[in-house]
Structure 1
């Protein structure tokens, strides 16, 4: 059976309308049951390939598409631009098993306008038992469902180092994210802190949903700086290794996953590996990476908060933090520690965030010295890191 529709009379009229696209009828059924377990989510279409998905989107009001990569007739990467052409504001989550090939395709898909990705368990049995996957899928669908309802586009990242933007993408202005409604983050409530930083000794970046695109934009336009750059992006292991490679291609600085015991070098970029918190300790004159598998924080490992707490102890007022687009509030508690120690925090603004959860949390808590569009981040950071040392 190639397609089915769900009309659940028990659902709210405002429930987010979802289309599941996967060539396995078993997987489609399992994904549908997971999504339908939430009263705010309704799966209205379930189809077996990208070609059918494009046709159904032409005639149905869909907020979010959960799109498999490997399918007959038309695969997910081929279908992606066609879906966005039919409905530019539809939010697309790439769902694939965790292989290097699929991770590479998912990263490419996000450059072409997919809003997010989710690593899919390798079998129906694993999927049935995967509580973390179920939680993540439902929360991402709800967050992006709300994004789809706003109908306002945010710009895609600019092309860097010879790359060309290849589509008018689907990233749109968010009003909320899954766990926290936008009413908690009204833009008018933002109070900026005085910029007290002199010349930072390190740049730390935290990001989640929409983060790869934002990282490419910031780091691709930052140029070479003398400070080390450390990043926590919510991603599984296979993805973080590839993301580090992609960052190296667009940036003027070397980029790699951080390794336990590694000494930070100026002008190098270090990305927290999936499945590990990346924290730091001082050894003599050096700052050393320490990886651990302590419990997730904010449902995430790696998480931004432990990274920021450890950096604050070492760098104090000479720590500069960027909180970019992402669901949830990871980075909020860490940013509180950073500002208490005299460091500075800059958040991505609502208009250019895919989901204004993480940056919205720090911005409306009064922790930021600036709240900026993604296009202004690199130049602003460059001005700060080029300041004269006090």
Structure 2
């Protein structure tokens, strides 16, 4: 197999050197060039023909956002992974880059205590994503080893009380597309786990609120759930639901990561299944890995419903693909139709007159 060719773009000599050394230590990767700013990078792309561009956000002369805006019209399919600092400015720029067509992002190591810890952070953050996009997304799509069990709306009408959404790679744009189509008078709360670090989730909530009719907020421990609420799990915190009498409240905690994730979709869905049972809809959108698979099993065992995004509209058909291939999806839905599918199921009881 040919190696995945990577162009590293960063204004810091130390970062270019360290990242290049770490990536080159992987036998499947080859660093074919480095650049100190976006202008140099754009000149190098036709020379080195990379499979993936690793792009810093803050650079002199031509920053990451300017580079991405200039790159996309010429190379619409070239994977670009933003490599940003875990700062407010870095988070803002990263979310903007994702909306401009960046494939994904990774955060630079910060305050990890040792060089080796920083190097391990780079390995874990960057290498899987570079391999995913560099080898071609389709190579990572799941083969349908088992026929998907796709079931229509059940004949037995059960009121829907909550919608819980899990998403990862490609999530910010997918959530903006989905939530912009949900009406302001939606009659149930919506809970979201997006794999993102602290600070990024707060900015994502603000960004989503500006693009839809609903107010999206970071989850707060102890808050009571009401119709029309949209709560996003904070970075580095799990979110659960807890019933207290006739009311349901959010819980936010820092138990160990699950599926290498905190927040974890499985953690949320297990609690949703326990509290809401058949009144729950789980929605699994684009993302790497299989976080949410066990939680969807719990939802189905409790009598709830599961919707999964289809492969064609997913950036990465990992999370929804695992759910579909496990036979847990009631329906597999293109992203642009997901809001209508959710609302149809939420309002089924009202339309039926029951």
| 1:219-368 pair list within 5 angstroms | 219-224=179-184, 225-368=186-329
CA distance in 1, matches of 2:31, 2:240: 40
Matched, 1:145 2:134: yes
Q: Is 2:16 the partner of 1:55?
A: no
Q: TM-score, normalised by structure 1?
A: 0.85
> Which structure 2 residues correspond to residues 200-219 of structure 1 after superposition, within 5 A?
200-219=160-179
Q: Which residue of 2 aligns with 1:36?
A: 24
**Segment of structure 1 superposing worse, 115-124 or 270-279:** 115-124
- After TM superposition, give the deviation of residue 285 of structure 1 in Å: 1.3
> Equivalents in 1 of 2:169, 2:176: separation in Å?
14
Query: Structure 1 stretches (4+) deviating beyond 6 angstroms?
Result: none
CA contact under 8 A between 2:257 and 2:264: conserved in structure 1? Answer: yes
The residue number in structure 2 matching 1:4 is none
Q: Give the equivalent residue in structure 1 for 2:148.
A: 190
Q: Indicate conservation of the 8 Å contact 2:181/2:339, yes or no.
A: yes
Deviations 1:296-342 (A, max 9, x none): 11111001001000000011111011100000000001101111111
Contact 1:208–1:326 under 8 Å retained in 2: yes
Q: Are 1:26 and 2:50 an aligned pair?
A: no
Give the SS at the match of 2:72: helix
Change in CA separation of 1:77 and 1:127 when aligned onto 2, cut-off 3 Å = farther
Which consecutive unaligned segments of at least 5 residues does structure 2 have?
A: none
2:102 aligned with 1:114, yes or no?
A: yes
After TM superposition, give the deviation of residue 195 of structure 1 in Å.
Answer: 3.0
- The 2-side partners of 1:123 and 1:17 are apart by 30
Shift of 1:128: 4.1
Could you tell me whether the CA contact under 8 Å between 1:257 and 1:273 is conserved in 2?
yes
Query: Could you tell me how far 1:188 is from its partner in structure 2?
Result: 8.1
Between the aligned partners of 1:250 and 1:59, the Cα distance in structure 2 is: 39
The alpha-carbon deviation at position 125 of structure 1 amounts to 7.3
For residues 188 and 51 of structure 1, the distance between their equivalents in structure 2, rounded to whole angstroms, comes to 48
Match of 1:375 in 2: 336
Post-superposition offset of 1:126:
5.4
Determine if contact 2:146/2:326 at 8 Å carries over to the other structure: no
Instruction: Tell me if 1:80 matches 2:68.
Output: yes
Do the aligned partners of residues 364 and 127 (structure 1) sit closer, same or farther apart at CA in structure 2, a change above 3 Å counting? farther
CA distance in 1, matches of 2:97, 2:175: 15
8 Å CA contact 1:263–1:287 kept in 2: the answer is yes
Q: State the alpha-carbon separation in 2 of the partners of residues 91 and 126 from structure 1.
A: 30
Secondary structure in 1 matching 2:191 = strand
Q: Residue 279 of structure 1 contacts residue 289 of structure 1 at CA under 8 Å; is this kept in 2?
A: yes
**Cα drift, residue 190 of structure 1:** 2.5
Mind listing any 5+ residue stretches in structure 1 that lack a counterpart?
1-11, 148-173
Kept in 2, the 8 Å contact 1:190–1:365? The answer is yes
For 1:118 and 1:302, how far apart are their aligned partners in 2? Answer: 16
| Alpha-carbon distance, 1:127 to partner | 6.0
In structure 1, C-alpha distance between the alignment counterparts of 2:25 and 2:318, rounded to whole Å: 23
Contact persistence 1:217–1:374 (CA under 8 A): yes
Cα-Cα RMSD: 1.8
Q: Distance in 1 between the 2:224 and 2:258 partners?
A: 25
Matches within 5 A, 1:96-175: 96-122=84-110, 128-130=116-118, 131-147=120-136, 174-175=137-138
* Count of matched residue pairs: 347
TM-score of the pair, normalised by structure 2:
0.93
Q: Is the 8 A contact 1:58 1:86 kept in 2?
A: no
Cα distance in 2 for partners of 1:124, 1:381 equals 42
